[in-house]
Amino acid sequence: MPGSSIIDDLTARGLLQDATDLEALRRRLDESPIVLYCGFDPTATSLHIGSLLPLLVLRRFQEHGHRPIALAGGATGMIGDPSGRSAERNLLDDATLDANVQGIVAQLRRFLDFDRSGNPARLVDNRDWTAPLSAIDFLRDVGKHVTVNQMLAKESVKARVESESGISFTEFSYMLLQANDYRWLHEHERCELQIGGSDQWGNITAGIDLIRRTSAQHVHGLTFPLMTKADGTKFGKTAAGAVWLDPALTSPYEFFQYWINTDDRDVRRFLLQLTLLPVEEVEAVVAAHTAAPDAREAQRRLAREVTTLVHGADACREAEQASAGFRRPAGELSADELAALAGEIPTTALARPEVEGVDVVDLLVRTGLASSRSDARRAIEGGGVNINDERQAAPRPVEAADLLHGRYLMLRKGKKHRHLVVVE
């Protein structure tokens, strides 16, 4: 198997946006396994699904025999990458950053194989070599090799320089730190390829230039297109916020639902880029879906694949069951089925006096389904509120008879916003 088949695979999946010298990279990959890296920003305690794509590309490389390094940007995270940003970032403090790095490192572990013989994955934190660097060392060893002219020419910087609010020196310097990461990994880990989203192009080439100037070595860079959605909304964001990989922040059920709701126009690309399914299989699924779009098979397959990848097969099965449970009205579900739903969908446990005799309006607020009592009232007036899947025409107190099996209450606002109340 030629090493460059990974390139063909990435191409077939539409994952190749730019590469520094694709032919040279192919030749290099054919020669012998390569060490490559990709950076992940610890901007939160968890990664979100935007990181799925780079994570899986690393994984694809590893399955082709190459050695991936996942870099947690503990140092660069303190600076803030200006790429794709219109405004200055807030700086994170040490403690927050520590917690964030810890969180994402645990997640990175799930996607790569650290024990694989021959090409085990590695995990690094750029604080290890960046923190000890003095300002003077940095200016002499990195800054000296780069002209401000080149830096200003980078798209990420140019956009911000021309913007109203400008760019701080701190963020301006970001690309030098990333360039230094690449150089460090090149020197210490023999890393020869950096990958990233297309917004990382400027940062990646900065590293390549730095390596060439300081060691006359030619290394590679490769980017993939940023995830977009057909309807123009931001990938990975819902009304509730980001879709996280951490099950405590986004439950497997919510995660599963995110993919189930995928637009027809996006589903093929997502299957190709966010799952490990072979390309031919994706095409077969897509063909079936085109023939019978109302069956939503492609969305279901996508949801299954991605949820299993992130949360495991068991969690995925439970999520899918919860998702399917809604085909029947809540009133028909057994006590066991409702119990299984608890925790899977948004759930609130309340004492009996907090439910019985309490107005639906207050319960909607209590569960977060409505932001205020006015909001709750308006939702009821608009015909959007259901108790146990029965539409409520007007506000009313909840009665003991409403409690399914004596302790469950299924509140629903609109088609998709469900909340289970459990009486303790």
List contacts with RNA (CB under 7 A): 164-166, 230-231, 233, 239, 257, 260-264, 293-294, 296, 299, 323-324, 326, 365, 371-375, 377-379, 382-384, 413-417
Residue with tokens 């279901």: 300
The residue (of 11 and 374) whose beta carbon lies closer to RNA is 374
The residue (of 28 and 413) whose beta carbon lies closer to RNA is 413
The residue (of 343 and 384) whose beta carbon lies closer to RNA is 384
Burial class (CB in 10 A: 0-12, 13-18, 19+), 375: middle
DSSP 210-272: HHHHHH----EEEEEPPP--TTSSPTTEETTEE-BSSTTTS-HHHHHHHHHT--HHHHHHHHH
CB of 399 to RNA, least distance (A): 20
- Hey, is 365 helix, strand or coil? helix
CA triple 8-11-15, angle to 5 deg: 135
- Contact of 371 with 364, CB cutoff 8 Å: no
- First CA to last CA across the chain, in angstroms? 60
CB of 342 to RNA, least distance (A): 18
The residue (of 94 and 294) whose beta carbon lies closer to RNA is 294
Burial class (CB in 10 A: 0-12, 13-18, 19+), 224: buried
The residue (of 120 and 293) whose beta carbon lies closer to RNA is 293
Q: What is the DSSP code (8-state) at residue 333?
A: S
The residue (of 379 and 422) whose beta carbon lies closer to RNA is 379
Tokens of 83: 């790429």
Which residues does residue 413 pair with via DSSP β-bridges, in sequence order? 385, 417
- Contact of 155 with 206, CB cutoff 8 Å: no
CB of 235 to RNA, least distance (A): 12
How far CA 107 is from CA of 76, 102, 230, 338, in Å, comes to 19, 9, 28, 30
- Hey, is 359 helix, strand or coil? strand
CB of 314 to RNA, least distance (A): 19
CB of 387 to RNA, least distance (A): 13
The residue (of 87 and 400) whose beta carbon lies closer to RNA is 87
Beta strands 191-197 and 220-224, pairing class: parallel
The residue (of 324 and 335) whose beta carbon lies closer to RNA is 324
Tokens of 37: 């890296």
CB of 373 to RNA, least distance (A): 3
CB of 366 to RNA, least distance (A): 12
Q: Is the dihedral of CA 33, 276, 109, 132 positive or negative?
A: positive
Beta strands 347-350 and 417-423, pairing class: parallel
CB of 378 to RNA, least distance (A): 4
Q: Give the amino acid at 135.
A: A
The residue (of 163 and 217) whose beta carbon lies closer to RNA is 163
CB of 385 to RNA, least distance (A): 8
Q: What is the DSSP code (8-state) at residue 44?
A: S
CB of 229 to RNA, least distance (A): 9
The residue (of 35 and 363) whose beta carbon lies closer to RNA is 363
Where residue 37 falls (left for φ over 0; alpha for ψ -120 to 50; beta otherwise) is beta
CB of 389 to RNA, least distance (A): 11
The span from the CA of 221 to the CA of 66, in Å, is 15
Closest CA to 323 of 296, 284, 292: 296
The residue (of 214 and 388) whose beta carbon lies closer to RNA is 388
